[in-house]
Amino acid sequence: MWLDIYDKKAIWNGYTPSSGRFFPLASFDLNILMQFSRSPYLFFTYNAVLATIFAFIYLKILNNVNNSKINLLIVALFMLSVGFVIIFFGICYSDKIMIVFLSIFMLCTFYIIKNNDPKYIFLGIVFLNLSIYLKEPIFIATFCIGFLLFIQSFKNHYKNLKTYSILIMLSSIIYCILYFILIFNNIEKSYDRYTQNSDVITITLHGIINYILNDGIIIFLLPTLFVYRIFRVFIKKDKFEVFFDSFLSAGFVYLCIYLVLGIFETYYLLPCYIFSGASILYFLVNQQYTKFIFIKIALALGLLGFFASSLPFGIYNMINLKAQGVQFNEILDFSAKYLKQNPNTDIYFDGTGRGREIYAEYYVGYFVEYLNKIYNIKEFDIKTSMPNLKDIKIDSKKPYTYFNSLDLHTPKSGDLIILNNTTTNKINKTYMQDLNDKYTLIYKSNFSTIPYINIKSIIKFVNLNLTKSNHSLFGHQNVFRLPLNAYIFKVE
Give the distance, in angstroms, between the CA of residue 438 and the centroid of all CA atoms in the same chain. Answer: 39
pLDDT at 199: 77
Pairing outcome for strands 440-444 and 345-349: unpaired
pLDDT at 191: 65
pLDDT at 195: 67
pLDDT at 133: 97
**One-letter identity of residue 485:** N
pLDDT at 193: 62
- Residue length, the chain? 492
**Non-local CB neighbours of 256 within 8 Å, separated by 6+ positions:** none
- What distance in Å separates the CA atoms of residue 379 and residue 344, rounded to the nearest whole number? 5
Beta bridge partners of 417: 348, 489
pLDDT at 300: 98
- What distance in Å separates the CA atoms of residue 303 and residue 270, rounded to the nearest whole number? 16
How many angstroms separate the Cα of 388 from the Cα of each of 33, 118, 352, 358, 385? 41, 62, 10, 11, 9
List the strands of the sheet with 440-444, edge to edge: 380-383, 345-349, 416-419, 487-490, 440-444
Give the distance, in angstroms, between the CA of residue 135 and the centroid of all CA atoms in the same chain. Answer: 13
- What distance in Å separates the CA atoms of residue 452 and residue 381, rounded to the nearest whole number? 31
Query: Minimal CA–CA distance to 382: which of 367, 394, 370, 395?
Result: 367
pLDDT at 407: 96
Pairing outcome for strands 21-22 and 380-383: unpaired
DSSP string, 50-112: HHHHHHHHHHHHHHHH---THHHHHHHHHTTSHHHHHHHSSSS-THHHHHHHHHHHHHHHHHH
Cis before residue 387, ω within 30 degrees of 0? no
- What distance in Å separates the CA atoms of residue 103 and residue 107, rounded to the nearest whole number? 6
CB burial of 123-158 (b: ≥16 within 10 Å; e: otherwise) equals ebbebbbbbbbbbbbbbbbbbbbbbbbbebbeeeeb
Give every residue of the chain whose pLDDT is below 50, as ranges: none
- What distance in Å separates the CA atoms of residue 459 and residue 307, rounded to the nearest whole number? 15
Axis crossing angle, helix 95-115 with helix 242-261, rounded to the nearest 10: 150
Q: Which helix (H) or strand (E) holds 130?
A: helix 121-132
- Three-class SS of residue 416? strand
Q: Which helix (H) or strand (E) holds 320?
A: helix 311-341
Burial, 162: exposed, middle or buried (Cβ in 10 Å; 0-12, 13-18, 19+)?
Answer: middle
Does residue 31 contact residue 12 with C-beta atoms inside 8 Å? no
- What distance in Å separates the CA atoms of residue 481 and residue 474, rounded to the nearest whole number? 14
- Alpha-helical segments (H) within 262-310: 270-281, 293-305
How many angstroms separate the Cα of 134 from the Cα of each of 77, 100, 148, 252? 25, 11, 23, 19
